[in-house]
Amino acid sequence: MNISLAYFSIIFLNLLLASLVKSERSLAGFVLAITSRYQTLSYIISMSDTSDFTENSYRALEYTRVLSDKYVYSMIIQIDELDEAIDRYYHKIVKPTYIIIIESHDDFDKFVNFTNARPQERPVNSHVWLVIFRTNNKFLLDICEKPVKNYFNLVFNVKMMVACNNPDSSGALLIREWYSLFPDKTQLIDYAIWDAENFTKLSDLGFYERRSLEGVPIRTTRIKSATPGYVNDLLELMVNVSHFERVRQEPEHFYGHYDPVSKKWNGIIEKLTNNETDIGVGEFAMTDDRLDVVDFSLPILVLPSKYYIKKPNENVLHWSIFFIITNRILTSYLTIFKHSLPFNSIDEFIKDGTYKIAVVKDTNYYDYFNGCKREKTVVLLEDFTLNSNHIKLGCELVSFDEASLLSLSIAYRKHSPYTYYFNVFLQKMQSYGLLQILRRRNDRVNYNLEDNYEPVTVYSVLPIFALLACARWTSPATSALPRTTKTSHRGRKKESSIQLAFPTRES
């Protein structure tokens, strides 16, 4: 009797395991399809209790076996260990995808608590997620099919795929993307279908092309002293394409400078760090200090910063005259105006020692350049700012040397969910040539840093006229000189003649 019962138990367990293995192989095949399509390098699978001799332990073994056959690293943890595992392997595993298998209310509640308690520096959108609702519970399946709120604290740029897998049904799996535009709502996108054999993608659009910012309020702040220009036009183009709502805030006086005494920022950088605005509208220079507190877009301009001085008031007239004397006529001359700069390189500027250097206040240049109140001042600036009405000039400036290349970008608050979305937009505009068009449109009107040559005045050419008059009145006298002279050499009988070769009208 005991032997029969033991045989029956073994047969029942084998049938159960065979059915379980078949089901899990199908689900593991779905995970493997995602692996081959997205080149995932590793998986961290989070399940319920995986202690010995439980159903989940067999599932975990099947997942790791299938993935190991394809040389994909995987590890199994419990949902309770998810927070610790992410902190431990954050910089140790390359491109991990976290698979969350929800089978009960307890699993769902634990994952909800985990996503809502993530620190700001490591939010949910820092990772790739595959959430599988593997349950026949109607409440959980309803949440999976039609979430009524933002359960998982999602943001716009989160990479989360969700599949509703009811073990009692044998249909194809519909994989959706979950993300959120508003704190209390979850958006769904039908992404792909898995039918145990084929993985069929439902859209060929890119990750950010599948998503929309329709109606999302985004706060923007610009510089008060600057007229709307290049970046403002660029942002307006983004509004027209993405259809988000631009909320304009009061302009700030400065881009932003860090005060080491008070340990605070000012200007637009301060508003970004305090989460008082979302986008800083302007050409922000990337610096190490700024990168610690804000995010930047791709460079919209890469320009050299230059050293400028006030354009000299007087010009020195350099005469370069090449006389061709044929028939006693002056045939050509050339006059060139050049600015008389005190130095032409940064080395000469240092040796001169009479000029002071200044930069624009509360920007990456740190201090304020007060136009032309001082005659002997060298200002460090990039020519785009000089040409786009961002500073008020009391005089015309000329450059004499380059300092370094400078990358200018749009600034976002730290960990902004829209940074990569706008970067994709900027890449497309760059490839279409629209950035160059917007830049040329916003150049300073009638402002030219090149040399402007002034006409030669009457007084400046008086020496030429005097020279011509002198040549005119002296030419008859030179023509009247004897054409030949004879000299006798002592002790010699023959005469020698020396010809003075003067040009004549017949020659």
At residue 174, the 3 state secondary structure works out as: strand
Q: How far is CA 399 from CA 110, 150, 341, 505, in A?
A: 63, 56, 10, 52
Neighbour order of strands in the sheet with 187-194: 73-78, 42-47, 96-102, 128-134, 159-165, 173-179, 187-194, 199-201
pLDDT value of position 90: 73
At residue 372, the 3 state secondary structure works out as: coil
Better pLDDT: 139 or 30: 139
User: How many of the other CB atoms lie within 10 Å of CB of 27?
Assistant: 23
DSSP 139: H
The full set of domain ranges for the chain reads 12-201, 217-296, 302-413+430-445
pLDDT value of position 386: 61
Beta carbons of 226 and 212 less than 8 angstroms apart = no
Paired tokens of 492: 């010699």
Neighbour-count burial of 390, counting CB atoms closer than 10 A to its CB (0-12 exposed, 13-18 middle, 19+ buried): buried
Angle between helices 230-242 and 419-432 (to 10 degrees): 110
Mean pLDDT is lowest, of 177-181, 182-186, 362-366, 414-418, for 362-366
pLDDT value of position 467: 74
Beta carbons of 42 and 93 less than 8 angstroms apart = yes
pLDDT value of position 67: 78
What is the band of 21 on the pLDDT scale with cuts at 50, 70, 90?
Answer: very low
Q: Are strands 96-102 and 42-47 parallel, antiparallel or unpaired?
A: parallel
- C-alpha to C-alpha distance for 219 and 207, rounded to whole angstroms: 24
CATH code: domain 12-201 is: 3.40.50.2300
Beta carbons of 200 and 193 less than 8 angstroms apart = yes
pLDDT value of position 438: 83
- Element of type H or E holding 73: strand 73-78
At residue 312, the 3 state secondary structure works out as: coil
252-276 b/e with 16+ CB inside 10 Å = b? Answer: bebbbbbeeeeeebbbbbbbbbeee
Summarised one tens digit per residue, pLDDT across range 201-250 is: 888 888 888 888 888 999 999 988 655 678 888 899 889 888 899 999 99
Summarised one tens digit per residue, pLDDT across range 458-476 is: 666 667 777 777 777 777 7
Name 281's bridge partners.
222
Beta carbons of 100 and 46 less than 8 angstroms apart = yes
Angle at 132 between CA 131 and CA 138, to 5 degrees: 120
Q: CB neighbours of 216 closer than 8 A, spacing ≥ 6?
A: 156, 181, 182, 244, 245
> Which CATH homologous superfamily contains domain 217-296?
Periplasmic binding protein-like II (3.40.190.10)
- Element of type H or E holding 65: helix 55-69
